[in-house]
Structure 1
Amino acid sequence: MQDAHNGARDDATSDALGRIADRFGRFAALDGQDDPLYAALAEIIGGDAELMAPLLEAPTTQHLPVLLLAALHDRILAGEPHPLAAYYASRAHAGGHRAPDADLPALLRDFMRREDAALRALTRSRTTQTNETGRCAVLRPALQALAHRLGGSAEAPVEFALFDFGCSAGLNLGVDRYAYDDGVETVPGATPDAPLIRTQWRGERPTALLGDPAWRAEHRMGVDLQPVQPDDEIATRWLRACLWPGDAARRERLDRALADARRHPVSLLRTEDGLSELERWIATLPEGVTPVIGNVWVLAYFEPQALRAHVERVGRLVRERGLAWISGEVGKLAPLPDLPPAPKGESPASTTLWTLQWRDRSGTVRTEPLAWSHAHGRWVEWLDPARAA
């Protein structure tokens, strides 16, 4: 009986490693192409069960290449002395400019064996949290679109209360304080050292949504399974570890956003039931304030049944409490019966579809697509040019 039990467990482990290997293979071939080091690491790890094994410590929804790569990056950023650090541009003082070469597989295996306990602890206790402020390039016009639908203007802005679901360090709650450059216009931030969010428009640029804000927000809050306090050195190192080591611009933007968040602290709550916290928070808001929940690349971590319950519950709050919902997720997770065509050359499985659900002034609940964008906001294709004009 014990042998049968062990055999079933071994089969389950083998199946899990097979799925993880497939994900590493896809990552190396597709997503990882933005960073030569990560593409090379993914190819090596995906071919070695021992190197993939730390991911088995994580929940199945976190059996993701980016989680293990982030755990590796965290150990590098922690300053662990090892020749592997020379491949990481984020450790420029340790070399940081060595391109993937024939020595990389052996050095990676040696480092991962030395750091096995620490890597397993990280994959067991952490989740992927990039807190990508580049997505504010789309969140900003999405909030403006909502404000216009509610009758707001620059002269008479509507009052929002911003609620970040899956907030990490809550950095996207600073959306109205950041600087923006869309290739046509540069908008200064609230301070000279505000993070600069760059993007490019594909297709028609919705100029009416890019002027002075038709909204303002005095109330902001975030919830997360593992919120990150902006002044927590270890936790914010994990945010840096979740960035890809070759992307210096994102590192600088993150550091500026963290500094901004430290100057403008908000309540970030640890909870497994964020919508209950939202309901309690809505009850405390002044009359006339529209609560707005936002989520970006969060719903993919839900199991199917939990996702259905979440969408239904948010919809009820829209109907009954006047909540507005801005969602930025892969196409299949959008709260729409039919998807708009994805941009040419892009896949709805890896591109972000932004949607808006709100209750209009007649009391009717409306849901519509707003935009497609790059996962990190590097480009935006607006889907509503007529109403944005």
Structure 2
Amino acid sequence: MQTPMPMPMPTDLPVDPTVLNRMSRRFRQFADQDGQDDPLYAVLARCMADDPRLCGLLAAAPSGQQLPVLLLAAIHDCVLDAEVPASALHAYYPTAGGTRLPDESLPEALLAFVHAHRDRLLHTVRTRSTQTNEVGRCGVLRVALQALMQRLDLGAQAPQPVALFDFGCSAGLNLSVQDYGYDDGWDLRPAVDPAAPTIRGTWRRSPPAGLRGPDRWRVTETLGVDLSPVEVSDERATRWLRACVWPHDAHRGERLGQALEWARHRPHRLISSQDGLQVLTDWVGSLPGPVLPVMINTWVLAYLDEEQRRSLTHRVTALIRERGLAWISAEAGKFAPVPVLPQGSGQEPPETTTLWTLHWRARQGECGTPLAWSHAHGKWMDWVTEEDDDI
């Protein structure tokens, strides 16, 4: 293996050893845990962890975005750009037609690529955020909506009209939850049209049988809010969504493509706002009386600081008490809005696993409960709530 070309330490980035050590630890942890789902990303993350010229680039991102997946997505976006000349690194990306598996030449190819596109990569990590918009999460979302109807005793005779609000919506693809098909070994459901994607996953512990059957809810209103919503007709913006999908996950990439194409013909209203909860408050006030407002958020709270998370919980809880809002949250366990984490059936750490929680207004006030754990992208699901066992 040849000696990698020299690449000077950027002078406009923090060079504090404490900062670099923190970035290095994050890449190493990613390689040992989440990165194991993709053979290329696991090796790239180890390369970055061992080289301050690489992991140091992540320090340019805003503090809430200093996550390994952001720099990996920035590189992937560059690889997917047809205007970027083919390089040795392209050969390792199946999404760019590459067939080469990680080998001893990969570190050199990575260094050369980063060196050639450093300014672009820095701009991307400074201005972008990861926006996976993972429709695989709809496998739990549709059951969570069914559980909500059961708790509110709604929709048994006719589906309850629901207004679905996606906080941190990206391209708003999860707002089409009722259109998708579901193949989960528990309650098979065809898509409303062959062109709509089918969400496949496996239940480790199934939801109660009483939650099977026809939907007790019907989405009649939708709205999404994001700092930077993705316009599905914008090729560059949707390329970023594809870049946020890991290169060896062909099924996930194909599913995203289907969901984007479906959204192009059935778009949802999306709003850019720095205060999405004010948008939610105004929107709830404009809804017709019979419609039940439901807010969903999926892997958003990790990008907020502690004070922002407290403020969000306080404001959403007030809307639950005062306006009858229901709240379905799908976040990493450590950010879940519940006091105690339920026991899962697997060994996955709660830091990298999604906990689904449900909050609603009951006669005694605001109520909340955990519903399920799931893989971050919906590959597996694990129902944990026992209250529904006798439905």
| Aligned match of 1:4 | none
- Looking at structure 1, the residues matched to 369 and 104 of structure 2 have their Cα atoms a distance apart, in angstroms, of 50
* Aligned equivalent of 1:84: 89
Partner of 2:162: 160
The amino acid that maps onto 1:299 is L
Question: Any residues of structure 2 matched to 1:245-264 within 5 Å, and which?
Answer: 245-264=247-266
Q: Which residue does 1:364 correspond to in 2?
A: 365
Matches within 5 A, 1:1-389: 13-79=16-82, 80=84, 81-92=86-97, 96-153=98-155, 155-360=157-362, 362=363, 364-387=365-388, 389=391
Deviation at 1:344, TM superposition (A): 3.1
Distance (Å, rounded) in 2 between the aligned partners of 1:59 and 1:43: 22
Q: Distance in 1 between matches of 2:349 and 2:194?
A: 37
Q: Which residue of 1 aligns with 2:5?
A: none
Q: Which runs of 5+ in 1 are unaligned?
A: 1-8
Looking at structure 1, the residues matched to 212 and 78 of structure 2 have their Cα atoms a distance apart, in angstroms, of 41
| 2:59–2:66 Cα contact (<8 Å) kept | yes
In 1, Cα distance between the equivalents of 2:37 and 2:338?
A: 30
Question: How far 1:194 moved relative to its partner?
Answer: 1.0
More helix by percentage? 1
Deviations 1:241-268 (A, max 9, x none): 0000001101110011111111211111
Q: Distance in 2 between matches of 1:20 and 1:32?
A: 15
Query: 1-side partners of 2:191 and 2:14: how far apart?
Result: 55
SS of the equivalent of 1:176 reads coil
Deviation at 1:187, TM superposition (A): 1.2
Question: Cα gap change, 1:363/1:159 in structure 2, threshold over 3 Å: closer, same or farther?
Answer: farther
1:3 maps to none
Q: What do residues 43-91 of structure 1 show as CA deviations (whole Å, max 9, x unaligned)?
A: 1111111112332221011111100000000000003211211100111
| Cα shift at 1:14 | 2.8
CA contact (8 A) 1:168 1:226 kept: yes
Select between 201-210 and 294-303 the one with higher mean Cα deviation: 201-210
Contact 2:131 2:241 in 1 (8 A): yes
Secondary structure, counterpart of 2:350 in structure 1: coil
Aligned length: 377
1:10 Cα offset (Å):
8.6
1:146 maps to amino acid: L
Q: CA RMSD in A?
A: 1.6
Q: C-alpha distance in 2, partners of 1:177/1:286?
A: 23
Cα shift at 1:343: 2.4
User: How far did residue 340 of structure 1 move?
Assistant: 1.3
Task: Check 1:208–1:334 CA distance in 2 against 1; reply closer, same or farther (3 A cut).
Answer: same
Rounded Cα–Cα distance in structure 1 between residues aligned with 2:213 and 2:261: 26
Deviation, 1:12, is 6.8
Structure 1 window deviating more from structure 2 (22-31 vs 45-54): it is 45-54
**Structure 1 residue 385 displacement after superposition:** 4.6
Structure 1 window deviating more from structure 2 (195-204 vs 230-239): it is 195-204
Question: Unaligned stretches of 5+ in structure 2?
Answer: 1-11
Corresponding residue SS for 1:202? strand
Contact 1:154 1:212 in 2 (8 A): no
Give 1:208 deviation, angstroms. Answer: 2.4
Write the distance in 1 (CA, Å) between the matches of 2:308 and 2:197.
35
- Cα distance in 1, alignment partners of residues 16 and 230 from structure 2: 32
Do 1:24 and 1:42's aligned partners in 2 also have CA atoms closer than 8 Å? yes
Aligned AA (1:84):
L
Q: TM-score, normalised by structure 2?
A: 0.93
Quick check: 2:331–2:355 contact (8 Å CA) kept in 1?
A: yes
- Aligned AA for 1:56? A
Identity across aligned pairs (percent)? 50
C-alpha spacing 1:291/1:380, structure 2 compared with 1 (3 Å): same
Per the normalisation by structure 1, the TM-score is 0.93
